A and B are shown apart, each in its own frame.
Chain A
Amino acid sequence: MLNIDLQYFAQLQDAAGRAHEIRTTSAPTAADLYDELRDVYSFALEPACMRVAINAAFSPWEQPLRDGDHVVFIPPVTGG
């Protein structure tokens, strides 16, 4: 099992009801972790319209997670 440091923004923060959590998971990749979280929080956003940041860098969805990784799922950005 891995301990993952999760931070939530925008719609995901509202749906999760929190900005941050440390989650123990067996999800091997960020994509698997997002699937797991969708079951818990009913996230409406599809992964196809999002990106993922691991340790504050954009990363492939299929990148293997390591214990202690910091993960942020990035909803469609709307700055400017």
Chain B
Amino acid sequence: MSDFIVADAPVDITTLRREILVPEAGGFCAFEGWVRQTNDGRAVTGIDYSAFVPLARTEGQAIVQEAKQRFAICHATAMHRTGYLSVGETAVWIGVAAAHRDAAFSACRYIIDEIKQRVPIWKKEHYATGVTEWVPCHTR
């Protein structure tokens, strides 16, 4: 399985977790990003994610490889959804297994930060008013 998955349907997190559960690891750290019910004070009903899939895959894979080089980790995997997701659905999942916790936390943080900066995925927010808008850029 690739270390970076772009999925157009829900992915079983248990399966992703099993991928990184290796005997040399002493634990793992995961980050799960969800669709939130508000953004900038506006009520959100869902988010439509679109991706330039071939480049999202190669850039995501590069990020996971960088994390493996920078931090003393055993394994890392990441998944990003495309398509329409309702409030509460999982949009992104990152799991990092390492011998010790510092590397796991640092690598997990590195991967989500880089995904948000570099991977060609865009979100269109759907508001309770019926309006939809592309999110112009990350505010944080």
Contact B119 A77 (CB under 8 A): yes
Those of A8-30 within 8 Å (CB) of chain B: 9-11, 14
Q: Is the CB of B58 within 8 A of A10?
A: no
Q: Does A64 contact B (CB under 8 A)?
A: no
Interface residue B70 (Cβ < 8 Å from any Cβ of A): no
Which residues of the other chain, B, contact A77 by a CB distance below 8 angstroms?
116-122
B91 engages A11 (CB within 8 Å): no
Contact between chains at A53 and B120 (CB < 8 Å): yes
Interface pair A53/B55, CB less than 8 Å apart = yes
Q: Is the CB of B122 within 8 A of A75?
A: yes
The answer for the CA separation of A53 and B124 in the assembled complex, in Å, is: 21
Q: Tally chain B residues at the interface, Cβ within 8 Å.
A: 29
Interchain CB contact under 8 A, B58 and A78: no
Residues of A within 8 A of B124 (CB): 10
Q: Is A3 an interface residue (CB 8 A)?
A: no
Using CB atoms, name the residue of chain B closest to A77: B120
Q: How far is the CA of A11 from the CA of B50 in the complex (A)?
A: 11
Residue A74, interface by CB 8 Å: yes
Report the minimum CB–CB distance from A31 to chain B (whole Å). 19
Report Cα–Cα, A74/B137, bound state, in Å.
12
Residue of B at shortest CB range from A11? B134
A5 CA to B80 CA, complexed, in Å: 26
Task: Find A56's partner among B58, B92, B138 (CB 8 Å cutoff).
Answer: B58
The answer on a CB contact under 8 Å between A80 and B50 is no
Bound together, the chains give a CA A64 to CA B134 distance in angstroms of 31
Interface residues of A in 36-77 (CB under 8 A from B): 49, 53, 56-58, 72, 74-77
Contacting pair B134 A80 (CB below 8 A):
no
Residues of B in contact with A (beta carbons under 8 Å apart): 33, 49-52, 54-56, 58-59, 80, 91-92, 112, 115-124, 134-138
* CB-defined A-B contacts under 8 Å, sample of 11: A9-B122, A56-B55, A57-B58, A72-B120, A75-B134, A76-B138, A78-B116, A78-B122, A79-B115, A80-B91, A80-B115
